[in-house]
Amino acid sequence: MTSSVGPMGPVPLRMSAAVLQGPGRLQVNDVPVPPLGDQDVLVKIDLCGVCGSDLHMVLDGWGQRGSWQGHEWTGTVLAVGPEVQRWQPGDAVVGGPPIRCGTCASCVAGRPALCAQRDTPGIGPEQGAFATYKVSREGELLALPADLDPRAATLAEPLAVALHGIHQSGITAGQRALVLGAGPIGALTIAALRARGIHHVVCAEPTEGRQALARAVGASEVCHPRDLVVPSIAEPGFIVPGAVDVVLECSGKAAAMEAGLAQLVRGGTLVLVGAGIESPRFDPNRILLNEVIITGAFTYSANGFSEALDLLASGALPVDELLEPDLVSLDGLLDAMRGLADGRLAGKVLVRP
Ligand SMILES: [Zn+2]
Ligand SMILES: [Zn+2]
| Mean pLDDT, rounded, for 14-20 | 97
- Look at residue 124 and tell me whether its pLDDT is greater than 60: no
- Look at residue 195 and tell me whether its pLDDT is greater than 90: yes
**204, 233 in Cβ contact below 8 A?**
no
Ligand 1 centroid to 157 CA: how many Å?
A: 6
238, burial (CB in 10 Å: exposed 0-12, middle 13-18, buried 19+): middle
Ligand 2 centroid to 99 CA: how many Å?
A: 9
Ligand 1 centroid to 83 CA: how many Å?
A: 29
Ligand 2 centroid to 294 CA: how many Å?
A: 24
Ligand 2 centroid to 263 CA: how many Å?
A: 35
Superfamily covering domain 159-296: NAD(P)-binding Rossmann-like Domain (3.40.50.720)
Do 2-155+323-351 and 159-296 fold alike per CATH? no
**287, 261 in Cβ contact below 8 A?**
yes
- Give residue 233's pLDDT: 83
The bound ligand whose nearest atom lies closest to the alpha carbon of 120 is 2
- Look at residue 92 and tell me whether its pLDDT is greater than 60: yes
Write down the pTM of the prediction.
Answer: 0.94
pLDDT tens across 274-305, in order? Answer: 988 889 999 999 999 999 999 999 999 999 99
Is the C-alpha dihedral spanning 122, 272, 157, 340 positive or negative?
negative
Ligand 1 centroid to 337 CA: how many Å?
A: 13
The bound ligand whose nearest atom lies closest to the alpha carbon of 115 is 2
pLDDT tens across 198-227, in order? Answer: 999 999 999 999 999 999 999 999 999 999
- Give residue 8's pLDDT: 56
Superfamily covering domain 2-155+323-351: Medium-chain alcohol dehydrogenases, catalytic domain (3.90.180.10)
pLDDT tens across 46-71, in order? Answer: 999 999 889 989 998 889 999 999 99
Please tell me the distance from the alpha carbon of residue 77 to that of residue 260, in angstroms, as a whole number: 44
- Give residue 275's pLDDT: 86
List Cβ<8 Å contacts ≥24 apart for 143-148. Answer: 143/91, 143/92, 143/93, 143/94, 144/74, 144/92, 144/93, 144/94, 145/309, 145/312, 145/313, 147/313, 148/309, 148/312, 148/313
Please tell me the distance from the alpha carbon of residue 74 to that of residue 52, in angstroms, as a whole number: 18
- Give residue 9's pLDDT: 60
Q: Where do the domains of the chain lie?
A: 2-155+323-351, 159-296
Which residues fall inside 5 Å of ion ligand 2, going by CB?
A: 100-101, 104, 107, 115
pLDDT tens across 303-328, in order? Answer: 999 999 999 999 999 999 999 999 99
